[in-house]
């Protein structure tokens, strides 16, 4: 007759009688949700998010971006609707990218006062008071060749490009942007933009510098969203080599000397060490950009049923904050705010 067998010492009674003599039992603080919440070191909140929006001309336009489910190209009226929803979710700001009707070799639509970004800044500042409006300052969405600046012999030339960026930043400030965010990685642009803003009476407009922006494969979906892939070549002559961190600190230091108010590391997940060092060494408000490819990876895995999306999203954003980011720019802003609100 079969009898119930158990390994020696594995019955509940035996287990209760077995006791290691431990001075420290870290598991005590993990026993209940209340205990875990009490000792949690990193708390995520919607107040640290900024949500990017892609604006274009027209009216009533809302076209989903194939590789970025839940992210849209929006006409200005639709962007205003999203801005209302973003503010209602407790998110303090938006970051605007523009899709111009026309592109040319020098990206002149970047500083057209009637272009979508400038129009969206005015509309959002007027209709959604209190929401911060940040603008991306770069030429890649505006040049016919998709490069971030003016080309001479197929090379992006630095100083002439900086003058174009200054024009773009001034036009954003004139439209009412609270923060301009140069993402081009040209040398000396922060200083020139600061000087030009001050001279034009925009001393109160802040600069968030994409200070350590890496040449990353994770911008792929953004380039579909913004129609800004370079027609030839790549961005290695100005964006940083993913292998470098000391260089990132030098870039950040230069931008701070030139007048950056907030410094950014981009992308986020693959550069957590850079975020940590930038925050520790400079102590400035530090932003991290959780970029399009990072978002697309989570979305794709979730759609295949391979990961639990809300958990993966919060784990990701928590890691970015834990590394030292004060501000997280993320396409997940509203979704994360919703989950955090319970």
213 given a catalytic annotation: yes
Within 235-294, the residues that bind ligand PBG by CB under 6 A are 291-292
Shortest separation between residue 307's beta carbon and ligand PBG, angstroms: 20
Within 114-143, the residues that bind ligand PBG by CB under 6 A are 136, 138, 140
Q: In this structure, what are the phi and psi dihedrals at residue 283, rounded to the nearest 5 degrees?
A: 65, 10
Are 290 and 316 in contact by the 8 Å Cβ rule? The answer is yes
When binding is defined by CB under 6 A, the residue of 73, 143, 171, 183 that contacts ligand PBG is 183
Query: What's the chain's Rg over C-alpha atoms?
Result: 24
- Is the torsion defined by CA of 52, 54, 58, 59 positive or negative? negative
DSSP character at residue 42: -
9 vs 50, beta carbon nearer ligand PBG: 50
Shortest separation between residue 121's beta carbon and ligand PBG, angstroms: 16
E-strand ranges in the chain read: 49-56, 62-65, 68-75, 93-98, 132-137, 151-152, 155-156, 179-182, 206-213, 262-266, 286-290, 327-330
Region binding ligand PBG by CB under 6 A among candidate stretches 24-32, 56-64, 152-160, 219-227: 219-227
Catalytic residue among 125, 266, 299, 321: 266
Shortest separation between residue 291's beta carbon and ligand PBG, angstroms: 4
The residue behind tokens 């408000």 is 285
When binding is defined by CB under 6 A, the residue of 72, 142, 219, 271 that contacts ligand PBG is 219
Shortest separation between residue 219's beta carbon and ligand PBG, angstroms: 4
Reduce the DSSP state of residue 20 to 3 states and report it: coil
136 vs 335, beta carbon nearer ligand PBG: 136
Region binding ligand PBG by CB under 6 A among candidate stretches 12-20, 217-225, 243-251, 310-318: 217-225
- Of all helices (H) and strands (E), which one includes residue 78? helix 76-88
145 token code pair: 């060749």
Shortest separation between residue 60's beta carbon and ligand PBG, angstroms: 25
Are 171 and 111 in contact by the 8 Å Cβ rule? The answer is yes
202 vs 222, beta carbon nearer ligand PBG: 222
Q: In this structure, what are the phi and psi dihedrals at residue 261, rounded to the nearest 5 degrees?
A: -90, -30
- Beta bridge pairs of residue 209: 263
E-strand ranges in 99-175 read: 132-137, 151-152, 155-156
Catalytic residue among 125, 213, 279, 321: 213
Total residues contacting ligand PBG (rule CB under 6 A)? 9
Strands 151-152, 206-213: pairing kind:
unpaired
When binding is defined by CB under 6 A, the residue of 111, 222, 271, 332 that contacts ligand PBG is 222
Residues with active-site annotation: 213, 266
The residues that touch ligand PBG, with contacts defined as CB under 6 A, are 136, 138, 140, 183, 219, 222-223, 291-292
């Amino acid at each position: 007759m079969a009898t119930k067998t158990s390994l020696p010492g594995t019955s509940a009674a035996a287990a209760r009688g077995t006791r290691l003599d431990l001075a420290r039992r870290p598991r005590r603080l993990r026993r209940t949700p209340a205990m875990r919440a009490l000792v949690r070191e990193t708390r995520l909140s919607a107040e640290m998010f900024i949500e990017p929006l892609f604006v274009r001309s027209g009216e009533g336009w809302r076209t989903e971006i194939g590789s970025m489910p839940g992210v849209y190209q929006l006409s200005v009226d639709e962007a205003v609707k999203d801005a209302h929803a973003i503010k209602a979710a407790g998110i303090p700001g938006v970051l605007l990218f523009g899709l111009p009707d026309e592109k040319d070799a020098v990206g002149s639509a970047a500083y057209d006062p009637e272009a979508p970004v400038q129009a969206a800044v005015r509309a959002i500042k007027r209709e959604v008071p209190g929401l911060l409006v940040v603008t991306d300052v770069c030429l890649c969405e505006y040049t016919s060749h998709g490069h971030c600046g003016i080309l001479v012999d197929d090379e992006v030339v630095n100083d002439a490009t900086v003058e174009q960026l200054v024009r773009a930043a001034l036009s954003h400030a004139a439209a009412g942007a609270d923060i301009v965010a140069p993402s081009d990685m040209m040398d000396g642009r922060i200083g020139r933009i600061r000087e030009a803003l001050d001279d034009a009476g925009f001393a109160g407009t802040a600069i968030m510098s994409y200070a350590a922006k890496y040449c990353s494969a994770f911008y792929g979906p953004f380039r579909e969203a913004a129609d800004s892939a370079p027609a030839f070549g790549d961005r290695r002559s100005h964006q940083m080599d993913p292998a470098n961190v000391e260089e990132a600190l030098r870039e950040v230091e230069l931008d701070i000397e030139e007048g950056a108010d907030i410094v950014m590391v981009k992308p986020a997940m693959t550069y957590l060490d850079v975020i940590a060092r930038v925050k520790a060494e400079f102590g400035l408000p530090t932003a991290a950009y959780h970029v399009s490819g990072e978002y697309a990876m989570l979305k794709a895995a979730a759609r295949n049923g391979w990961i639990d999306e809300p958990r993966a999203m919060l784990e990701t954003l928590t890691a970015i904050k834990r590394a030292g980011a004060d501000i997280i720019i993320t396409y997940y802003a509203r979704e994360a705010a919703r989950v955090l609100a319970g």
